[in-house]
Structure formats: structure tokens, C-alpha cells
Structure 1
Amino acid sequence: MLQRLINSRAVNAVGLGCMNLSHAYGHPPSEKDASRLLLQALEVGVDHFDTAALYGFGANEKLLGKVLKPYRQQIFLASKCGMRGVDGKRVIDGRPQTLRATIEQSLTSLQTDVLDLYYLHRWDKSVPIEESVGELSRMVDEGKIKAIGLSEVSASTLRKAHQEHPIAALQTEYSLWTRNAEISVLDTCKELGCAFVAFSPLGRGFLTGKVADASTLVDGDIRKGMPRFQHDNVQQNQRLLAVLNEMASQLHCTAGQVSLAWLLHQGKHVLPIPGTTNVAHLQENMAASLIRLSAAQLQELNSAFAPQNISGDRYPPATQAEIDTEDY
């Protein structure tokens, strides 16, 4: 399998984002089914697992700890702090004392002594980035984490943090229909030697062609409140799928595989972490690293999915205000 580096460690280029096993997209699978999927992920070659304190308000970390503990030395395990569930609500809190409490809980839940990578899930804008990263650097010194990551931050914030302590990875949304990373942060990661971990690389399911508009989604699915999944925007965006589907037909693969292959062609430091609850989709995702796209095919996709052709913001205003990424 194609491999990429995070903090000088080689992992398979396509990892597994574990959020939807416990969180965000409506009714998560049962613990039995989620556990089965994690074990099957190991079987098909996944060795990079990504979770967070927020996911399932702690349930996701506990799930991974229970299932993956026997395989701990074989996998690259990443989690996140700075955003968690408090009294049933999502809270962003980057104060050092909060990050300290979160790492202790994460290590307990994940049944490990050290994490390979620990992200600041969101930059708490009331706390200087240097202060939050400074606390994470002390965790590195103490052997609780091996490397520091950031999520949903701009190139300028990445540079500030990197001066405080080397940042091994930056994670943000990146896909054919979310190209904000190309404004600056993708190149900044390459310059600084940071891995770029792309979450929602399949456009939260949209690029697979299997997700319609918000009205078809179940209660509790966060996409119901996202502008791009509202009916008028979906109608506009679905027209872009024709190019993707035609290319998939030519290559004898799925639209999702073309989308992941496109990402893998955007730089050797790019590692997508698609999430799924479906074993067949898991196998498809892992096989995407075998697909090679020509320069002409890449250009065709770039043109079809140019930012000006995408209808609707990726987040509603309140959520957009919480993040620090550049925007078109």
C-alpha cells in the first residue's frame, strides 16, 4: 500500500476517521457493529486511527481503547483535545488546565500510556495559541504524547504554534468540494514539514453520490444544519457529480475512490481519513491509493470543482466563527 509520513512514522496513506462510529451523523452503529468495523479496518490495512475527546462525548475513545488495545503497538493512534462535551454541550476550551485534564482522561479511555499524535481540536481564541501549545509541549516532555497537531487553523496560526513547538500534523477539511486549504495552509504544511490530514475527504458523503439534501437525513445528523446540504445548494452541487461519475466509469472504480485519489495527488504530505460504518466502503477507501490520475484528469476535476462552482458554505455562521481557517 502507498505510505505517507506523520512525525517521521510511515503509515498507510488512507487512515480511518472514527467520529461517525459514535457521533455526528445521526444514529451511530451499535458497539458490536462498531467494534467489528474497527477489527475489519485492521484486516484491510488501516494503521492510522483518528478519534477525539469530543466524539460521543468520550464514548469513541472508550470504544477504540477496548477494541484496539491488543494491537496498540501496530497502529498510529491520534486523538484531540480543546473541544469536548460538558453537561451535554460541546465546549471549546484551550486553557492548559483543561487540556491537562483531557489528556489524562483520553489515556485512560484509550487504554494506553502514550498517544502518537494529540491535536488541539479547535483553537480557543480566548487563549493565545502559544499557551495551549506550550501545555501540549509539556505532555511531549513527559512522554504522554509523541507529537502535537492542530485542527482547523490558518497558516499564520500554524506558524505561531510551530515556533512554540514543532507541529507534526495539521488536520482540516479538504476535498474536491472544500478547497480552502489551497489558499495557504496546504503549502505552509509542506514548507514546515507537517503532515496534512484531510478530514471529510468525501465531502461528508456528498462526493459518493449517495447523500441527497438535508430533508433526507435523520434527526441528529449535523449535516441537516450545514448550508451545502440545503435543497437549493444541493441541486446546484449535484450537477458537478456528473464529471466525477464519468471519470469513475472510465477508471472502473467508484466516485468516492476518484475523490480520494485526487486528494492523494495533491502532495506527498496529504493523508485523507475517510470515516465509514460500512465494511464495503472501508475496503473501497483503502483501495483508492492504487488509482493513478493523469494530469488531464486532475485538471478536469480541478476545473469542475473550482471553489466558485460550489454552492453554499461548509458551516453555518456560528460554527464558522469558531474556526480559524482561511476562506474564499
Structure 2
Amino acid sequence: MNLLDTADVYGAVGAAADTNGFGHNETLLGEAVRGRRDRAVIATKFGARPSDDGRVVYDGTPAYVRSACEASLRRLGTDHIDLYYCHRLDPGVPVEETVGAMAELVTEGKVTALGLSNAGPDELRRAARTAPVSALQSEYSLWERGVEDEILPLCRELGITLVPYSPLGRAALTGRVGPGTRLDGDDFRSTLPKFSPGNLPHNLRLVDGLKRFARERGATPGQVALAWLLAQPYAVVPVPGTKRAEFLRENAAAADLTLEAGEVAALGALFAPERVRGGQYGELPVAGR
């Protein structure tokens, strides 16, 4: 595993980062790859940043694209970013302007490939007409299937790899979330509809079916969930996150788990969108510049 995915807004705490902790995770990653940068494929993102009043502000202006990239390069301790994403498109800036500025970074050798995150079909087409787009990062898992109708076929048409974030359903698909799991106010999942008290018990019954399937295959539920993504007929590179080395090894082993077509279909039917309760996100305090 050599793709390391981060963002300037991740881990916005700690003294090692910029003002208010912005960029902390990039700083940590830069320390981790020092002396072995050539072994890592680094992906990072720009465009989403916290404002003083607690909102998330999106900035896709060409000037910010450039300044954000320069700051990420410094924190990562590298002269180039392998895959540079626009984390969220700025509703106040045409996608062509944002992606055009990103393309200039490629020309200058500061970025190797371009990506978008959570872009819709129209935005993705417009971006691809402006410059080559290599990757789209969107949520995709057994229990979040919103990209299947339009986005995945469009990615195939445009030659774009889908990079699913939260491929383990924010740990729910690992089997380590139960009816007694308490989500405190600092846990982002407490804001998500699938984890609400009214929806989670129902959704965990679907996970019980995943657990039974995994036991029959001699695998873990998380490995089956990742193998299901890898079995899709598209270019898909999931980026599961974890805090522990043992789970990193467990996730990596999913690449060795081969599912038959009937198994892929059965798992898809178990988590058919109409069977899963709750949408992708609740209300987020988000604004443009």
C-alpha cells in the first residue's frame, strides 16, 4: 500500500500545524515520508477550510489554489504532489477557473495529476473539458451507493478512477459498531442520518448479514466490504482509514479476497439502497467565500 491520502484541513489540531491547527495532518505525513518520499504516492486536497465563526468555507479562486498548493508542499516537505484534489468546489467560482489554475500547477511540475472530490456529473464533465482529471473521490460503500447511477458510468466514459472514501461505512461495516455504541458530540458520525438513533438499529441488522457472510468466507466484515468494492466493474481504489496497524494489515488483506459474481450480487442486494435507512449527510454549516 503506497497511496497516502490526506488534506490540508485534516487533523486541524496540534502545535505542529499552521494557525488554528490547519495543515496538521500534512505536517505529520511529511515527517513520516522523509527519506523515503519516492516510495509514497501522496494525495492531498485544498478548498475547504474552517472559518472563524465555525462554518466550513470553500475557496476555489485561482489565487487560493496556488497559495494552498504552496503551503501543502511546505508542510509535506516535498517538491511535488502526486495527486492534488479540489476538496469541494466553490459555488462562487466556475469549475473551469479552479481546474484551470490546478492545471497550471501541473505545467509547473508542482502537481502530477488532478482530482476532484464530491463533484456532480455536470461539474465533472466541465472539469474534464478544461484539463485531464485522473481521480474523483466520493463516498462509496456497500451502504452508500449514490454514485452508481450517474457518477460511476461517467467516470468510465471519461477514464477517471473513482477513489471511494469511507469504504467501510465509517467503521459500521467492520462489525465494530453495535447497538450499544455511544457517539459523543465530538464524533462526526453523530451528525449522520445513518447513525441516528432511529436508523442505526435497522442498519446494523443489515451488517449482521454481512457478518454471517464474512464468517462463511473466513474473512472479516471489513475485508468483505472492501473486496466488494474491488470487484466492481470500474476503476476503483478505496482509501480506508484506520488508527491501528493491525487494522491496516487487515484492510490490505482484502485485496486477496476474491468474490464470485453471485456473491457480489448477493451483497449488493443485502445493502440495496432502498433497504438502508438515512441519507449521506445531515445539515452541514457550509458556505462559499
Relative to the length of structure 1, the TM-score reads: 0.81
Task: From 97, 119, 136, give the equivalent of 2:102.
Answer: 136
One-letter amino acid of the counterpart of residue 42, structure 2: L
Verify the 8 A CA contact 1:213 1:229 in the aligned structure 2: no
1:118-133 correspondence runs (5 A): 118-133=84-99
2:28 maps to 63
One-letter amino acid of the counterpart of residue 109, structure 1: R
Compare the two structures and name the one with the higher helix fraction. 1
2:131 maps to 165
Structure 1, residues 132-186: CA drift from partner, whole Å, max 9, x if none? 0010011111111011100001122111000000101000000000001101111
Verify the 8 A CA contact 2:214 2:224 in the aligned structure 1: yes
For structure 2, the residue ranges without an aligned partner over 5 or more in a row are: 12-21
One-letter amino acid of the counterpart of residue 45, structure 2: K
Verify the 8 A CA contact 2:179 2:204 in the aligned structure 1: no
Matched, 1:76 2:54: no
Task: From 64, 89, 111, give the equivalent of 2:77.
Answer: 111
Alpha-carbon distance in structure 1 between the residues aligned to 2:179 and 2:53:
27
Higher relative contact order (CA 8 A, sep 6+): 1
Verify the 8 A CA contact 1:213 1:231 in the aligned structure 2: no
Task: From 175, 194, 202, give the equivalent of 1:236.
Answer: 202
One-letter amino acid of the counterpart of residue 7, structure 2: A
- Find the residue that maps to 1:146 and give its secondary structure: strand
Alpha-carbon distance in structure 2 between the residues aligned to 1:316 and 1:230:
10
Alpha-carbon distance in structure 1 between the residues aligned to 2:265 and 2:181:
33
Task: From 135, 139, 143, give the equivalent of 1:177.
Answer: 143
- What is the count of residue pairs matched by the alignment? 277
Verify the 8 A CA contact 1:168 1:193 in the aligned structure 2: yes
Alpha-carbon distance in structure 1 between the residues aligned to 2:63 and 2:156:
32
Alpha-carbon distance in structure 1 between the residues aligned to 2:107 and 2:236:
27
User: Post-superposition shift, 1:267?
Assistant: 2.9
Alpha-carbon distance in structure 1 between the residues aligned to 2:223 and 2:144:
17
2:19 maps to none
Task: From 29, 39, 49, give the equivalent of 2:4.
Answer: 49
- Find the residue that maps to 1:298 and give its secondary structure: helix
Alpha-carbon distance in structure 2 between the residues aligned to 1:101 and 1:214:
45
One-letter amino acid of the counterpart of residue 55, structure 1: Y
